[in-house]
Structures are given as structure tokens and as C-alpha cells.
Amino acid sequence: MKKGINGKTKIIGLVGENIKNSLSPYIHNRIIVKYSLNFCYLPFQVKKADLNNAIEGIKALNIKGVNITFPYKEKVIGFLDEVEESARRIGAVNTIVNNEGVLNGYNTDVVGFKRSLQEVGEFTVKRKKAAILGGGGAARAVIYSILEEGIEEVYIFNRTLEKAGKIKQDFSSFFPESSIYIFPLEKESLKDKINKAHLLVNTTSIGMPPQVNNTPLPDEKLFHPNLLVYDLIYHPAKTLFLKQAEEAGAKIINGLPMLFYQAIESFYLWTGLKPEGKELLEVFR
Ligand code: NAP
């Protein structure tokens, strides 16, 4: 068979509202080339009003599957045939698999965060305490992931306290052995809890362009050397949040390993092939 795209090539891709700077097409197509698979990963920039038609189009065009990104991870659930249990509980889908006309939804951000913590952070969650900044879709996947791994206490800090409260309400009954506490994203409440925490994760979008001079933490003195500090943002590679954490002696991780490991998991769902993790990640650093 000739190399390159041909009549048997299977199409996978990314659906989002503004995906021009996404790394996903690059990551997936690199993996496809490395393993000589007859797949091609394409970006599909979709307007809000067209989401339903775009998802229907997956069946019509016999696309094997797609990643779903901001701002469609929650909304897309209504257009799917089946949704895997953790994705349903989290309320967000980032991967769709087209199984001969049946659209199945998954959330591979959960595994992405879990593997990045274990393999890059060398961090064990069991019986630890974590402070999470933010209460949006990414926070829900991160919190679900550490609850599954047996975190002892989770402190959620969010500007909109009701959203943090909803996470507590949605997740508590599934993880009765862990305790979830909610707070406003303010210095006074942060101080005591970050002091006790082993893991601090920024899941807010503060630090992304154009907010690169901003940080979600109101006081850099709150960092301490016993923390693993994780920022889900990967562009810029080192946010002000991570720079200040590093200066305080904390170990840091940016969002690239999570993005990478969720990509590997999605890739496996579409192709049945699980690329080597850590080794391949080095290629993208
Ligand atoms: P989202 O659902 O829109 O949530 C955004 C969060 O940021 C909310 O908690 C929001 O607080 C908070 N926030 C935004 N601006 C704020 C401000 N000025 N002050 C205080 N809080 C503010 O978005 P998401 O999907 O969770 O994504 C969040 C971040 O995670 C993005 O940077 C995204 O790129 C990143 N992400 C990375 C990966 C990865 O693989 N590395 C995966 C998923 C997401 P309110 O609730 O009060 O609005």
C-alpha cells in the first residue's frame, strides 16, 4: 500500500470554537506517523449554532471519532447516543468514538491528569490533601481524578462559589471516604488550606494570554517547598503562577503532560493502539 492519505484513511479530529492554536492536531498526527497508521487528525472549527449538525456529521461522514474542546464539552452530551459513567458524572465529554453509527462519549482528561501526576509528578494521591483553584469543566475532571485515586481532603476555591458547591454536591456521594470543602478564591481562606496541602492545582484560565501577567493566587508567600504545584495551562509553558511556585522551592508541572496523556487515551479509544507514554512525551517538550 502506498504511504499517505488514500481511500481507506480513517478520519479523526478536534471540534471546538477557537482551535487555531491547539496542539492536538500536531500531537495526534505525530503519533500516526510514528506508528504508520492509516489515520489523519483534522481540526474542525465549529460555530455554536452548528454544533448539533457537526456532531450528526460525524455519522454521516463516517468519521471515526473526535476530541471535543472548549466550550462544547458539556453541551455535546445531549447529542450523543451513550456516555461512559465517569464522563456522565463529571458532566463533560472530551472524546467521541463513532462505533458504526453509535456515538459514545468519554472523558479522557481524567486519565490524562492521573497519569501526568503519577508519571511526571511522581506523586501518589492516596491520603494526601489537595487545593484546587477553579470550578469549571477542567476542575471537575481534575477533582474527579484525585477522588478516584483516594485523596483524603479536597479544598475547592472558586470565584463563583455556587459552582464549587455543585461539584461537592455532585461528587460527594460517589466518594464517601474523601472530604470536599469549598471556599471563595480569597487570600484568607487560601492561606490555611494551602499550608496543609500537598498538591495545588490551577484549573482557572488566569495566566493564559492575554492574562499572562496575572496569577490566580493573591499572594506568592502562600507557596511552600512541600507542594507539588500544577498549572493546567501549557501556553505559556511557565505561567507567573508556576514561576512564583518554583522560586518558593515547590516542584512544578505545566498542562502539557495532561494534554499529552489525554491525547494518548483518546488515540487508544479510536485506534486500539496505546502509544508509549513518557518516552513519546519527551519528543514534544
Ligand atoms: P471553564 O469551564 O470556563 O472554567 C474557567 C475557570 O476559571 C472557572 O473556575 C472560572 O471561575 C475561572 N476564572 C476565569 N477567569 C477568572 C478570573 N478573572 N478570576 C477568577 N476566576 C476566573 O474552563 P475550563 O474548561 O475549566 O478550562 C480552564 C483552564 O484549563 C483553561 O486554561 C484550559 O486551557 C485549561 N485546560 C487544560 C487542559 C490540559 O490538558 N492541560 C485540559 C482542560 C483545560 P468562575 O467559575 O467564577 O467563572
Query: Which atom of ligand 1 lies at the shortest distance from residue 185's CA?
Result: 20
| Atom 39 of ligand 1, residue of closest alpha carbon | 259
CA nearest to 115, candidates 283, 276, 229, 284: 276
For residue 245, give the nearest of 283, 281, 284, 197 by alpha carbon.
197
Q: Which of 226, 225, 152, 164 is nearest to 189 (CA)?
A: 164
Q: What is residue 210's predicted lDDT score, i.e. its pLDDT? A: 93
The answer to whether the CB of 72 is under 6 A from ligand 1 is: no
Contact between 131 and 194 (Cβ < 8 Å):
yes
Smallest CA-to-CA distance from 155 within 125, 178, 123 is with: 178
Q: How far is CA 255 from CA 89, 182, 252, in A?
A: 23, 24, 10
Count of CB atoms within 10 A of residue 72's CB? 22
- Binding site membership of 233 for ligand 1 (Cβ less than 6 Å): yes
pLDDT of residue 279: 63
Cα-based torsion angle of the residue sequence 106, 107, 112, 115 in order, rounded to the nearest 10 degrees: -70
Grid cell for residue 255 = 498542562
Q: What is the Å distance from ligand 1's center to 71 Cα?
A: 11
Q: How far apart are CA 265 and CA 204, in angstroms?
A: 23
**Measured distance CA(95)–CA(88) in Å, rounded:** 12
Number of neighbours of residue 175 by Cβ within 10 angstroms: 17
For 52, list phi and psi in degrees, rounded to 5.
-55, -50
Q: Is the CB of 105 under 6 A from ligand 1?
A: no
pLDDT along the chain (285 residues), means of 10: 84 97 94 95 98 98 97 97 97 98 98 96 96 96 98 98 98 97 95 96 96 96 97 96 98 96 97 82 66
Cα 167 to Cα 119: distance, rounded to the nearest angstrom:
27
Ligand 1 atom nearest to 159, measured from its CA: 47
Q: Rounded to the nearest whole angstrom, what is the distance from the C-alpha of residue 257 to the centroid of ligand 1?
A: 17
Angle at 158 between CA 146 and CA 239, to 5 degrees: 75
Measured distance CA(105)–CA(68) in Å, rounded: 10
Is this model's pTM higher than 0.85 or not?
yes
Nearest ligand 1 atom to alpha carbon 207: 32
C-alpha cell at position 70: 472548549
pLDDT at position 142? 98
Residue 136 CB less than 6 A away from ligand 1: yes
Residue 159: CB within 6 Å of ligand 1? yes
Phi, psi of 21 (to 5 degrees): -100, 10
Catalytic positions, written as ranges = 73
Cα 197 to ligand 1 centroid, rounded to whole Å: 21
Between the CA of 62 and the centroid of ligand 1 the distance, in Å, is 33
Output the CA 217–ligand 1 centroid distance in Å. Answer: 14
